[in-house]
């Protein structure tokens, strides 16, 4: 993908200049001139600024050990342990902070979760009372094609809503379902249900304010089993369908084509993401960390 023009020129900030290059889409920027194993305080502040400005940042050509990935991730805050998924808890041995996203089978056993299928639009673990703040994904093996990850700006989606629709959703709360994960698998230990009124999950405001940027955003989480509290089920479904029609519009998204050594950091509070399927016979291994949230969405 051809990236857009620079949004900031090379900045003389410590050990090396950093280029922040916009994708030209509604969100996303590539950061150049970085070795994430050796960044100083001023470089980290520049990374954090770019992340707040662009919601998703990409750093290519990294050679990170698992300890390096954990160390960089911890600069943003405390880390969650890998979640329990459909194949059980899959993390790097001795490093429960690193969640393995993979389709690879070794001796009949999956080494990771989410397989090779499509992962639909979602926000990570929004079914929790205090969802994670951010996630990072580091590419170790990638298939020759497919498995691309797309990101959607929930700032841009909210801004695009007609005023009348904004008025209709003001003050509403949405239930974020905890029954199924983004691959459509039943979460371990959860009883299957497709009634969003009784499914497990957390209630969050439908329109939130980002705690760092102060910008308003739509907070949808995922579509399956979502429910707008206080509405009858047909009203809730109709209004959610109306909102999700905006999410599907390509002008609010950016698609990333992975290379080995790519690290992508995204803000779970103001983005959603999805993954394309890929050939199940090809190998894909990604290591993910997740930064804990500090407060419920407001």
Confidence of residue 87 (pLDDT cuts 50, 70, 90): low
Predicted TM-score (pTM) of the model is 0.91
Quote the CA–CA distance of 223 and 195 in Å, as a whole number: 13
The answer for residues whose C-beta is within 8 angstroms of residue 280's C-beta and 6 or more apart is 103, 115, 116
Q: 236-284, pLDDT tens digit by residue?
A: 999 999 999 999 999 999 999 999 999 999 999 999 999 999 999 999 9
In this structure, what token pair is assigned to residue 99? 């969640």
Domain with CATH 3.60.130.10 in the chain: 6-148+253-291, 153-247
Q: 190-246, pLDDT tens digit by residue?
A: 788 888 888 889 999 999 999 999 999 999 999 989 999 999 999 999 999 999 999
Quote the CA–CA distance of 298 and 284 in Å, as a whole number: 36
Using the CB atoms, write b or e for 142-153: b if 16+ within 10 Å.
Answer: bbeebbbbbbbb
What would be the CATH architecture of the domain defined by 6-148+253-291? 4-Layer Sandwich (3.60)
Question: What CATH number has the domain spanning 153-247?
Answer: 3.60.130.10
């Amino acid at each position: 993908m051809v990236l857009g023009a620079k949004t900031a020129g090379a900045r003389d900030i410590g050990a090396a200049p950093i280029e922040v290059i916009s994708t030209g889409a509604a969100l996303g920027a590539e950061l150049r001139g970085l070795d994430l194993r050796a960044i100083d305080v001023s470089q980290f502040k520049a990374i954090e600024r770019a992340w707040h400005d662009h919601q998703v940042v990409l750093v290519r050509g990294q050679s990170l050990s698992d300890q390096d990935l954990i160390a960089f991730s911890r600069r943003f805050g405390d880390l969650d342990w890998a979640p329990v998924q459909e194949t059980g808890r899959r993390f790097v041995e001795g490093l429960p902070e690193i969640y393995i996203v993979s389709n690879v089978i070794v001796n009949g056993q999956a080494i990771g979760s989410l397989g090779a299928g499509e992962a639909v639009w979602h926000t990570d673990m929004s079914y929790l009372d205090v969802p994670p703040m951010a996630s990072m994904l580091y590419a170790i093996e990638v298939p020759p094609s497919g498995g691309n990850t797309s990101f959607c700006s929930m700032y841009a989606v909210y801004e695009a809503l007609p005023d009348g629709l904004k008025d209709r959703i003001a003050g509403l709360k949405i239930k974020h379902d905890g029954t199924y994960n983004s691959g459509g698998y039943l979460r371990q230990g959860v009883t299957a249900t497709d009634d969003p009124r009784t499914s497990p999950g957390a209630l969050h405001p439908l329109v939130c304010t980002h705690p760092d940027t102060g910008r308003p955003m739509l907070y949808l989480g995922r579509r399956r089993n979502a429910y707008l509290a206080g509405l009858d089920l047909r009203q809730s479904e109709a209004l959610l369908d109306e909102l999700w029609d905006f999410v599907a519009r390509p002008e609010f998204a950016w698609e990333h084509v992975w290379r080995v050594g790519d690290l992508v950091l995204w803000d779970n509070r103001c983005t959603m993401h999805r993954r394309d399927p890929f050939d199940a016979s090809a190998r894909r291994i990604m290591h993910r960390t997740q930064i804990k949230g500090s407060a419920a969405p407001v």
